[in-house]
Each structure stands twice: as C-alpha cells, then as structure tokens.
Amino acid sequence: MKFVQILFVACLLGFSNFSFGAKVDSLDIPSAAMGKTYKAAVVLPSSYANSKQPYPVLYLLHGGGGQFSDWLSKTPDKMLLHKLADQYNLIIVTPEGERLGGYLDSPIQKDNKFETYITQEVVEKIDKTYRTIRDRKGRVITGLSMGGHGALFLSGRHPELYCAAGSMSGALDLNVDTWKLDPETIKRISPGFERILGPKGATPDQYAAHSVVYMAEKLKTNDVRLIIDCGVDDFLIEPNRELHRRLVYNKTPHDYIERPGGHTWDYWENSLPYHVLFFHKVLKANGSVIP
C-alpha cells in the first residue's frame, strides 16, 4: 500500500512538471510596413500563468538561412529555451526575419522592412498580447549569425527599446569579402545581400551604413550593455574581432568572448545561456526580474 502511495505521488509530480513547464505560443504578427503576416514563437515561463507581474522579454533572432522556429527546433537540446525561460522567469520571443532579410529596412526592396517590423510591429504586438515590462529596462535582444548582427544593429539604432544586446557568431560586416569563405561560396551568397543593399561595387556606402562593424561610435553613445562572442573556428571571426578592437579603442564597455567552436548549433546552444545570464544581471540591476 505504501508503495502504491509513493507511486501515486511520483506520478502526480511527474504530471505537474509536464503540465506546468514553460509554454510555447505561436503568434501571427502582421506587418503593415511589408504587407505580410509573419509568425513568431513565444516561450512563456511556467510562473507566468500564476503571476500578475509584468515580465522582462528577450528577443532572440535567427540566422540568415533560417526562420523563426529555428531556436526551438535546431538546438541539440530541444528544451533549451523552455529551461532558460523557467530558470530566469523570462519571456523569450523568436520573431521571423526571413532567410536573408538582414533585420534592416532595405533602401531598394520595399518588401524588406525588418528594422521597422522588429522594433515597432513585433514589440507592439508582444506588449499588447502579453504582460510585459513595456520599457527598455525590461527588454533585451540577441541572436546568431545574421541575427547577431541584427540584434546589435537594432539596439544600436534604437537604444530607447533595449537595455542590453548580444551577438553570437554575428555577421557584423555585411560585405562578405571580409568573411573567411572560399570564392565559390562568396559568389553563391552575395546575391542575397545585393538584393537588399545593391551590388557591392555600386553601393559600398549602403554596406557600410548597415554593418555593425562601422557603428562603434554609435554604440559608445548608447546606454546599452553589450555581450559579443564568436568561435575561433568560425568564418565570421574577423569581423567580430574588428568590432571588438574598435570598441576597445573608443572605450565602449562590452563583454567579448572567443571560445573553441565554429558556426554550429552546438556552439550556439553553449553560448545562449551565457547571454541570458549576462542579461539577467542587467535586468536585476534595473529592478526588472521576477523573483
């Protein structure tokens, strides 16, 4: 009889953990700027349902060849975001950026307005739909590869929205000639950037204006805490090192990390918890964490 009671309690505990863990919503977010509707995933910590407090939000951006669901489907640990949301009582939003939208407003493609989409339309939809801290003191952003560039680019241009930003393996210079890739690969991916910024030779100013590596002075003037990391075997290591050098030179506070690894989901799964811990410390200093 005692064994049956213990088994019953164990089943209840297991059911409780299964039922009340972090929850994932799929949200349609229309874009008036682009005349389209995109999806986003929203990870709500288990504490959200039983709380009346507003929650801090992490915007987590995907890479250039991906989509909004990547952070939930491609990490080796498919519960990574669930665990982080629960551990830090944090809402995590993974919005759509298309396969190579650059998280920027293209000067030549009117249907590519992802700066407007992420910073205005997505933030507004999330704040209206969920119980969030509707202030920069409770809002952070990071991402991988193109999403790392996007996070630093958007936070650099909109410091009123975010208190901290990060980049994992960021494509911090949109001129692919600075990447460690073979000529054939560069030739294959260049048209994607030319679609949104024009031919490199004809519009070099557009590439510079939209590349984070040239935003060091802008980043210095913003009160946005920064964390940047990249694997030493990553083909994007040189643009990351160049931005780091520029930030050191102009005395912009930031955390910069190089560790073994390449442009892989194993690397990003290892990297993300460091970013979230960094953000948690910033949010705590702002009085924006849920106990």
- Would you tell me the crossing angle of helices 265-285 and 80-88 to the nearest 10 degrees? 10
Characterize 77-87 residue by residue with b for buried, 16 or more Cβ atoms within 10 angstroms of its Cβ, and e for exposed.
eeebbbbbbbe
Q: Hey, what CATH topology would domain 16-285 get?
A: Rossmann fold (3.40.50)
Q: What is the pLDDT of residue 46?
A: 98
Among left, alpha and beta (phi > 0; psi -120 to 50; other), residue 207 is alpha
Domain locations in the chain as residue ranges: 16-285
Its pTM stands at: 0.92
> Sheet harboring 255-259: ordered strands across?
23-31, 36-44, 91-95, 57-61, 139-143, 164-168, 225-231, 255-259
- The confidence band for 98, taking pLDDT boundaries of 50, 70 and 90, is very high
The rounded distance, in Å, linking the Cα atoms of 174 and 268 is: 20
Q: What is the pLDDT of residues 138-179, one digit of tens each?
A: 999 999 999 999 999 999 999 999 999 999 999 999 999 899
